[in-house]
Amino acid sequence: MKKFDYRAPRFSIDLPVELTIENSTHLGRCREISTEGMRLELREPLPPDSFGTITMSYENLSVKLSVRVTHAKSDHDGLKFIYESDDQRNDLAHLVTLLLAPRKRRGPYLLS
């Protein structure tokens, strides 16, 4: 019988990110995230098994993590997070929580 590997829940989002690989910076959009990794849309696929750094910011929180490219397709790349500390893991968990929280509306809006 094959063992079932559990993986962290994934969440659909739309978040701009910055990826640096080998002194080259790429701007992309995170379309799906979990505490293990993300699905990233870029203009060009990345080399599989390459390593880099991803920077994500939302509201007043910015998270910078090392990543490995797990797969590259024509429409998206898969990245796995490489945590260097428990603080990084906690920061990413907090970022995911912020991204999933319902947005509060501030004040009335006039529509014309």
Whole-number Å distance between alpha carbons of 112 and 108? 13
Pair 64, 55: CB distance under 8 Å: yes
Pair 50, 68: CB distance under 8 Å: yes
| pLDDT value of position 112 | 45
Question: Averaged over 72-76, what is the pLDDT?
Answer: 87
57 has pLDDT over 60: yes
Question: Averaged over 72-87, what is the pLDDT?
Answer: 93
107 has pLDDT over 60: no
Which residues on adjacent β-strands are paired with residue 20? 25, 53
| Confidence band, pLDDT 50/70/90 cuts, at residue 82 | very high
The architecture in CATH of the region 11-100 reads Beta Barrel (2.40)
Question: Averaged over 57-78, what is the pLDDT?
Answer: 92
